[in-house]
């Protein structure tokens, strides 16, 4: 039975190869001082930076640059962004980049006017902002996280060896996001592939929860099939506009909370992957791929009905002459073959994790209760060992 729920998503999207022009429509709605957030400088090489600066200047904005956002934004970088915003009386945060830039911008947005330590308030105590929030807009250059249309924000604290995400309320969602698939063409192939797996796993995290045969499941299956189809085209031709468009659009719908409606949702792959990421600083999508199969094979029997459906509907596995368990196993084998074909990491050891990190990663893994099996710490450790 589809449960009771509320759904609202206030982010406005502009999609397509001329979508950047709509920045002119959005900028007049916000104040004069704009904090321009971006990463390592790739947007300067591919020309996106110059296009954005031109539009900002044409709209009479004072531009304050906040560069150097890393793939796993740190708490130190967050504190630096807060300082920049406060010193320049920033009215608006414009993130140009991938999900890390969007996540970071949202973390800054709730922290600029916060009179407490934001790491402690938001990422340890998981409280909601009680201060004025600085609005955020996003110009996406990498598809994967869905951060352009949700209120999630992941920050890493290397000193505490923690990588934690907070899903804030709807008021923290970007006011608008601009999605031009061509802006993703210059990404290194490894980053494209990591983003593709991130998309796929976002869908899995919501799909593999509950026994309900509801609309959310049908949507999830269609999105998964779209990712699989387009990924195989994109790895052969990264500049195939249709494939990259479908990947970018699917990424948004994979995590804008739509397909989670009526589902308890799992998110343990993310908890395992993020804990490993805090120790290895590896690319997010790759930490997810490294732990996914050991986790799903561990919980498969607890959600056998859904894993059978996954095998049949997503991977076209035949059930003729097979037990339900065999069908489910064949589905995960098909998933494994696809993962290898697109080139994601298949083990944590590939990402720099070692046996002596296992105890620490285990302790850093938050245990959630939305999946088919609530794990014990010993079970977390077993799954991590199988992921090495």
Confidence band for 387, pLDDT divided at 50, 70 and 90: very high
Does domain 189-387 match CATH 1.20.1090.10? Answer: yes
Query: Using one digit for the tens of pLDDT, what is the confidence trace for 101-153?
Result: 999 999 999 999 999 999 999 999 999 999 999 999 999 999 999 999 999 99
Over 70: is that where the pLDDT of 1 sits?
Answer: no
Domains 12-183 and 189-387 are alike in CATH topology: no
DSSP-assigned letter for residue 350: G
User: For residues 310 and 303, what is the distance between their CA atoms, to the nearest angstrom?
Assistant: 11
Asked if residue 168 lies in contact with residue 128, where contact means CB atoms within 8 angstroms, the answer is yes
pLDDT recorded at residue 66? 98
Average pLDDT over residues 299-311: 97
Closest by Cα among 205, 195, 287 to 249 = 195
Mean pLDDT across the stretch 332-358?
A: 98
Instruction: Work out the average pLDDT over 354-361.
Output: 97
pLDDT of residue 114: 97
Look at residue 63 and tell me whether its pLDDT is greater than 80: yes
**Distance (Å, rounded) from C-alpha 275 to C-alpha 164?**
8
Tokens 């998110």 belong to 267
Mean pLDDT, range 281-293, rounded to an integer: 97
> Please, what is the average pLDDT of the chain?
96
Q: Give me the mean pLDDT over the 241-252 stretch.
A: 98
The C-alpha atoms of residue 278 and residue 76 are separated, in whole angstroms, by 14
Please tell me the pTM assigned to this model.
Answer: 0.94
Q: What is the mean pLDDT of residues 305-317?
A: 98
Residue 212 has pLDDT above 80, yes or no: no
**Which pLDDT value is given to residue 243?**
98
Instruction: Convert the pLDDT of each residue in 137-193 to its tens digit.
Output: 999 999 999 999 999 999 999 999 999 999 999 999 999 999 999 999 999 999 999
Q: What is the pLDDT of residue 77?
A: 98
Residue 2 pLDDT > 70: no
167 - beta bridge partners? Answer: 152
What are the residue ranges of helices labelled H in the chain?
Answer: 23-26, 42-45, 48-58, 75-87, 99-109, 118, 189-207, 215-236, 241-254, 268-280, 284-299, 304-315, 324-342, 358-364, 377-387
What topology is assigned to 12-183 in CATH? Rossmann fold (3.40.50)
- Asked if pLDDT for residue 249 goes beyond 90, the answer is yes
Residue 40: predicted pLDDT: 87
Which of 176-190, 200-214, 321-335, 366-380 is predicted with the least confidence, judged by mean pLDDT? 200-214
Q: Where are the domains of the chain?
A: 12-183, 189-387
pLDDT score at 213: 78
CA distance 306 to 263: 13
Residues near 197 by beta carbon (within 8 Å), at least 6 away in sequence: 285, 286, 288, 289, 339, 342, 344
C-alpha to C-alpha distance for 169 and 153, rounded to whole angstroms: 11
| DSSP SS3 for 134 | coil
């Amino acid at each position: 039975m589809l449960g009771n729920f509320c759904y609202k998503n206030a982010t406005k999207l502009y999609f397509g190869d001329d979508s950047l022009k709509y920045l002119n429509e959005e900028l007049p709605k916000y104040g004069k001082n704009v904090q321009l957030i971006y990463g390592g400088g790739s947007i300067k090489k591919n020309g996106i930076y110059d296009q954005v600066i031109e539009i900002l200047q044409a709209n009479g904005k004072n531009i304050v640059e906040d560069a150097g956002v890393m793939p796993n934004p740190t708490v130190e970088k967050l504190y630096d962004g807060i300082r920049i915003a406060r010193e320049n009386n920033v009215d608006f945060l414009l993130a140009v980049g991938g999900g890390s830039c969007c996540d970071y911008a949202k973390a800054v947005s709730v922290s600029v006017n916060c009179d407490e330590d934001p790491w402690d308030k938001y990422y340890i105590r998981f409280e909601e902002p009680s201060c004025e929030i600085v609005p955020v807009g996003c110009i996406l250059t990498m598809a994967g996280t869905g951060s352009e249309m949700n209120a999630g924000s992941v920050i890493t604290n290397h000193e505490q060896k923690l990588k934690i995400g907070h899903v804030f309320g709807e008021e923290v969602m970007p006011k608008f996001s601009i999605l031009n698939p061509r802006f993703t063409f210059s990404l290194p192939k490894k980053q494209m592939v990591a983003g593709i797996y991130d998309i796929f796993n976002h869908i899995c995290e919501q799909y593999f929860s509950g026994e309900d045969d509801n609309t959310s499941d049908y949507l999830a299956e269609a999105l998964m099939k779209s990712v699989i189809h387009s990924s195989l085209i994109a790895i052969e031709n990264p500049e195939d506009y249709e494939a990259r468009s479908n990947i970018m659009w699917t990424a948004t719908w994979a995590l804008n909370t739509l397909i989670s409606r009526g589902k308890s949702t799992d998110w343990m792959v993310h908890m395992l992957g993020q804990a490993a990421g805090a120790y290895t600083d590896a690319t997010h999508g790759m930490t997810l791929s490294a732990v996914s199969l050991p986790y799903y094979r561990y919980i498969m029997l607890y959600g056998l009905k859904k894993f059978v459906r996954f095998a049949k509907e997503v991977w076209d596995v035949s059930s003729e002459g097979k037990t339900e368990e065999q069908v489910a196993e064949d589905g995960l084998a098909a998933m494994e073959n696809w993962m290898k074909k697109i080139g994601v990491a298949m083990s944590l050891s590939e990402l720099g994790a070692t046996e002596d990190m296992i105890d620490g990663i285990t302790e850093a893994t938050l245990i959630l209760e939305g999946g088919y099996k609530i794990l014990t710490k010993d079970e977390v450790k077993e799954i991590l060992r199988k992921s090495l």
